[in-house]
């Protein structure tokens, strides 16, 4: 951007220039600084006193040395620079909780407001777009009221899978027997069928199926699941090239072949910088930045180099005397200063932390508004809170104050005490991406060890941050990981060892070829998960799960296996089976801990996950509210507005969502390492 500093060149003007140069370096946003000293030109530009500042032709400052916060405000982009020359496909990805849905939706809305026809697509099984936009999501494009030109499509996994099954069965022709059709339908009942069917829908949108729209904006699942999705075209194309016979868990090979063109076209579109932009979203947080760096490298390995970075939720303290606000701002500044070279090299946008939740069209439009709009953020937040609550913001705040102490049963130390009393069992820590599941799981595992228990701490998350969070070894604590690649190879070796002796060389080659199918991984991960679940019969197993959508697919596989076992044992008198699903349903064996943040979206998704679990006859044991700032004492206007929202969410939880709630306060030092995590489960 072009910045003109108007003045005589005195020390005040030099100070203003130095502040601008420093902020440009800190934010990574380049600018051209032009000194204007001619009195006539200064007057023409509208300045009445100096030093004054003109940015891109607009007078933004007049008559005194600008403060650091004023200068910082000039470097907050008016929207995203990627909107200046947007490609047809915009693909938002990143760690859970960084704001992908908010930013992708706000971007789609901005494009539609600019007169474009836009389709916003969710590939996340746990999407909250319905709440954000106030509409019912469907597997067909749905217009958004109040936003002409914007349609929303949710790729529903179950609907996509059923559509896929019908297409494959239709290819079998009239000569196929009922038995053959039943066999194929059974083959198409697994979680991997759901995954590839969802990808088939996604691939269609990267082709001519979306030609009615100027732009297609994708709101994706958290990074690990999204990378799996993006790797599918390459994996399946290779499998199809090497395998021209037989069947897989996706049905007859002919059914797969009909997808091959889709796969290759999708891969080509993803890597075409003229058509597609991959937007890596992060927050000024070390963990989120590390995951963005990992995604950047993984995407490049897939041949997808057309990436850019958006840092969401950048916070600057407005009062130097507010210790909490300054500590939060400093943590963010340090994280951004240490931005890895691979991310620093990408085109970059930064979006400030807003005082309001991004629910509703006004808030979504305000998210990418110019910096000046931040002055009205607190007022907007109050109006939105009152509107959503059906009354005044003050009444909402008053109603929550009395509810807080009644509901909360203490911190993680109290939860660890309750869990330890069982002696053994499975503890599954679940929730939306980015809410702190790994921190809570690691802390609870340490708390149980401190209470004399033997503990196996593991994770099903493809992003797997357990080792980095613990950063040390503890006697009595076994730390593991269900690694998809390791488990897949172990599963293949096991099947080959069991079946090879009865096969000839050609049959062994065919079996190994079929086992190279990418969906073998889903089966292998489920078997590893089942084994870990069984270990809780004699010890504690604490399982840090993948973000909600991916975990639900694993739960679907668990349910499918249960139904298969029940069918196989039906009619066997005296036979008794105990499936993993039955163990999850046993409240004396399994305790589900749902983790959330004190914000609308995480609480809504925790509630939706709880509903899904209850439909499977699994009752969550407790909720953990992470990063609470209610007791911090901050008076920063942005944080104070967010505290109003936190009180509202506390009231919502108190209204019947959780039987037990434990609160984890915000900490100025990240809970990383054995010492810091142990503090979370130690009584004050």
The rounded distance, in Å, linking the Cα atoms of 467 and 673 is 9
Phi-psi bin for 284: left (phi > 0), alpha (psi -120 to 50), beta? beta
Q: How many CB atoms lie within 10 A of CB 655?
A: 10
Q: What is the pLDDT of residue 606?
A: 87
> Angle between the 286-301 and 223-242 helix axes, to the nearest 10 degrees?
20
The rounded distance, in Å, linking the Cα atoms of 544 and 437 is 6
52-55 and 58-62 beta bridge pairing? antiparallel
Q: Which helix (H) or strand (E) holds 499?
A: helix 484-499
Mean pLDDT of 62-70: 79
Q: What is the pLDDT of residue 421?
A: 92
The rounded distance, in Å, linking the Cα atoms of 296 and 290 is 10
The rounded distance, in Å, linking the Cα atoms of 75 and 79 is 11
Does residue 372 carry a pLDDT above 50?
Answer: no
Does residue 513 carry a pLDDT above 80?
Answer: no
Highest mean pLDDT among 109-113, 266-270, 522-526, 637-641: 109-113
Confidence of residue 594 (pLDDT cuts 50, 70, 90): very high
Confidence of residue 535 (pLDDT cuts 50, 70, 90): confident
The rounded distance, in Å, linking the Cα atoms of 477 and 211 is 55
Burial 567-594, CB ≥16 within 10 A → b, else e: eeeeeeeeeeeebbbbbbbeeebbbbbb
> In the chain, pLDDT over 90 holds for what percent of residues?
13
Q: What is the pLDDT of residue 401?
A: 36
- Catalogue the active-site residues: 97, 99-102, 124, 601
Query: Which one is predicted more confidently, 127 or 607?
Result: 607
Confidence of residue 128 (pLDDT cuts 50, 70, 90): confident
Highest mean pLDDT among 285-294, 372-381, 471-480, 548-557: 285-294
Which letter does DSSP use for residue 66 in this model? P
- Identical fold, 87-170+179-240+249-382 and 412-483+536-680: yes
Query: Which one is predicted more confidently, 549 or 286?
Result: 286
Q: What is the pLDDT of residue 407?
A: 58
> In the chain, pLDDT over 70 holds for what percent of residues?
73
Beta bridge partners of residue 661, listed in sequence order: 408, 623
Mean pLDDT of 382-398: 40
Reduce the DSSP state of residue 119 to 3 states and report it. strand
Mean pLDDT of 632-636: 77
Q: What is the pLDDT of residue 560?
A: 56
Q: How many CB atoms lie within 10 A of CB 439?
A: 27
Q: What is the pLDDT of residue 279?
A: 92
The rounded distance, in Å, linking the Cα atoms of 444 and 677 is 9
The rounded distance, in Å, linking the Cα atoms of 155 and 457 is 33
- Using one digit for the tens of pLDDT, what is the confidence trace for 268-293? 787 888 988 999 999 998 878 988 89
Q: Which CATH superfamily is domain 87-170+179-240+249-382 in?
A: P-loop containing nucleotide triphosphate hydrolases (3.40.50.300)
Q: What is the pLDDT of residue 246?
A: 44
- Using one digit for the tens of pLDDT, what is the confidence trace for 136-149? 888 788 999 988 99
Dihedral Cα 564, 570, 576, 581, nearest 10 deg: 30
Q: Which helix (H) or strand (E) holds 240?
A: helix 223-242
Architecture of domain 2-75: 3-Layer(aba) Sandwich (3.40)
Q: What is the pLDDT of residue 120?
A: 93
Burial 237-263, CB ≥16 within 10 A → b, else e: bebbeebeeebbbbbbeebbeebeebb
How deeply is 178 buried, as exposed, middle or buried, from its count of CB atoms within 10 A (0-12, 13-18, 19+)?
exposed
Inter-residue contact 540 to 448 (CB < 8 Å): yes
Domain residues of the chain, as ranges?
A: 2-75, 87-170+179-240+249-382, 412-483+536-680
Inter-residue contact 37 to 7 (CB < 8 Å): yes
Cα 432 off chain centre by: 7
Sign of CA dihedral 435, 441, 447, 448: positive
Sign of CA dihedral 597, 603, 605, 609: positive
Q: How many CB atoms lie within 10 A of CB 21?
A: 14
Q: What is the pLDDT of residue 385?
A: 42
Confidence of residue 443 (pLDDT cuts 50, 70, 90): very high
The rounded distance, in Å, linking the Cα atoms of 368 and 77 is 8
CATH class of residue range 412-483+536-680: alpha beta
Confidence of residue 175 (pLDDT cuts 50, 70, 90): confident
The rounded distance, in Å, linking the Cα atoms of 654 and 646 is 12
Query: Which one is predicted more confidently, 616 or 543?
Result: 543
Question: Residue 247 — φ and ψ, nearest 5°?
Answer: -145, 165
Q: What is the pLDDT of residue 363?
A: 82
Does residue 312 carry a pLDDT above 60?
Answer: yes
The rounded distance, in Å, linking the Cα atoms of 358 and 67 is 29
Cα 316 off chain centre by: 24
- Using one digit for the tens of pLDDT, what is the confidence trace for 242-253? 555 444 444 444
Q: What is the pLDDT of residue 235?
A: 56
Does residue 624 carry a pLDDT above 90?
Answer: yes
The rounded distance, in Å, linking the Cα atoms of 412 and 663 is 7
Which letter does DSSP use for residue 545 in this model? P
Nearest to 626 by CA among 394, 461, 442, 468: 442
Give the C-alpha distances (Å, rounded to integers) separating 6 from 13, 70, 262, 372.
8, 16, 57, 21
Query: Which one is predicted more confidently, 192 or 216?
Result: 216
Confidence of residue 381 (pLDDT cuts 50, 70, 90): very low
Reduce the DSSP state of residue 50 to 3 states and report it. coil
Inter-residue contact 671 to 677 (CB < 8 Å): yes
Q: How many CB atoms lie within 10 A of CB 184?
A: 21
Nearest to 626 by CA among 608, 609, 652, 649: 649
Cα 192 off chain centre by: 21
Q: What is the pLDDT of residue 229?
A: 60
First CA to last CA across the chain, in angstroms? 51
Nearest to 197 by CA among 611, 608, 561, 556: 556
Does residue 404 carry a pLDDT above 50?
Answer: no
The rounded distance, in Å, linking the Cα atoms of 622 and 657 is 10
- Using one digit for the tens of pLDDT, what is the confidence trace for 144-169? 998 899 999 887 767 777 777 777 77
The rounded distance, in Å, linking the Cα atoms of 386 and 498 is 64
Confidence of residue 417 (pLDDT cuts 50, 70, 90): very high
């Amino acid at each position: 951007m072009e910045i003109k500093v108007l003045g005589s060149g005195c020390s005040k003007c030099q100070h203003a220039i130095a502040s601008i140069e420093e902020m440009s370096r800190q934010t990574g946003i380049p600018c051209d600084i032009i000194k204007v000293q001619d009195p006539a030109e200064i007057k023409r530009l509208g300045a009445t006193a100096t030093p004054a500042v003109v940015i891109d032709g607009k007078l933004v400052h007049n008559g005194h040395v600008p403060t650091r916060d004023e200068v910082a405000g000039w470097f907050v982009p008016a929207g995203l620079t990627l909107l200046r020359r947007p490609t047809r496909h915009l693909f938002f990805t990143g760690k859970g909780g960084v704001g992908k849905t908010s930013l992708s939706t706000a971007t789609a809305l901005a494009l539609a407001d600019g007169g474009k026809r836009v389709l916003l697509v969710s590939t996340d099984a746990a999407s909250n777009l319905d709440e954000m936009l106030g509409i019912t999501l469907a597997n067909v494009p749905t217009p958004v009221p109040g936003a002409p030109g914007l349609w929303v499509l949710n790729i529903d996994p179950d609907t996509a899978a059923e559509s896929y099954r019908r297409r494959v069965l239709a290819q079998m022709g009239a000569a196929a027997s009922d038995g053959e059709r039943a066999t194929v339908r059974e083959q198409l009942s697994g979680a991997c069928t759901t995954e590839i069917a969802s990808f088939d829908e996604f691939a269609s949108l990267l082709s001519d199926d979306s030609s009615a729209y100027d732009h297609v904006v994708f709101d994706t699942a958290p990074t690990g699941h999204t990378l799996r999705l993006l790797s599918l075209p390459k994996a399946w194309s290779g499998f199809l090239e090497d395998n021209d016979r037989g069947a897989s868990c996706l049905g007859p090979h002919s059914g797969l072949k009909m997808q091959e063109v889709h796969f290759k076209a999708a891969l080509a579109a993803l890597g075409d910088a003229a058509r597609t932009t991959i937007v890596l979203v992060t927050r000024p947080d070390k963990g989120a930045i590390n995951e963005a760096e990992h995604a950047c490298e993984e995407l490049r390995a897939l041949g997808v180099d057309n990436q850019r970075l958006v840092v969401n939720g950048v916070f600057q303290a407005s009062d130097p005397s507010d210790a909490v606000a300054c500590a939060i701002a400093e943590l963010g500044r340090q994280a951004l200063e240490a931005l890895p070279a691979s991310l620093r090299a990408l085109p970059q946008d930064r979006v400030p932390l807003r005082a309001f939740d991004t629910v509703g069209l006004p808030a979504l439009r305000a998210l990418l508004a110019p910096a000046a709009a931040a002055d009205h953020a607190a007022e907007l937040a109050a109006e939105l809170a009152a509107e959503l609550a059906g009354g005044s913001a003050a009444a909402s705040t008053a109603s929550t104050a009395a509810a807080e102490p009644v509901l909360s049963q203490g911190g993680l130390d109290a939860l660890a005490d309750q869990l330890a009393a069982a002696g053994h069992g499975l503890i599954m820590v679940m929730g939306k991406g980015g809410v702190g599941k790994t921190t809570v799981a690691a802390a609870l595992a340490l708390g149980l060890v401190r209470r004399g228990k033997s503990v196996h701490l593991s994770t099903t998350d493809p992003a797997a941050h357990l080792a980095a969070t613990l950063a040390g070894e503890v006697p009595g604590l076994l730390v593991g990981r269900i690694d998809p690649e390791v488990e897949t190879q172990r599963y293949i070796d096991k099947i080959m060892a069991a079946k090879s002796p009865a096969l000839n060389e050609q049959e062994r080659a065919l079996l190994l070829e079929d086992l190279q199918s990418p969906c073998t991984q889903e089966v292998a991960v489920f078997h590893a998960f089942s084994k870990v679940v069984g270990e809780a019969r004699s010890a504690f197993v604490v399982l840090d799960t993948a973000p909600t959508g991916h975990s639900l697919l694993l739960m679907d596989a668990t349910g499918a296996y249960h139904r298969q076992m029940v069918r196989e044992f039906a009619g066997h008198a005296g036979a008794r089976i105990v499936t993993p699903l039955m163990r999850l349903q046993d409240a004396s064996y399994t305790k589900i801990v749902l983790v959330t943040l004190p914000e609308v979206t995480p609480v809504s998704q925790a509630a939706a996950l709880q509903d899904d679990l209850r439909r499977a006859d699994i009752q969550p044991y407790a909720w953990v509210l992470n990063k609470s700032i209610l007791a911090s004492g901050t008076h920063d206007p942005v944080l104070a507005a967010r505290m109003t929202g936190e009180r509202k969410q506390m009231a919502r939880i108190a209204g019947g969502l959780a039987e037990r709630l434990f609160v984890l306060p915000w900490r100025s030092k990240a809970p990383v390492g054995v010492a810091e995590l142990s503090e979370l489960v130690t009584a004050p």
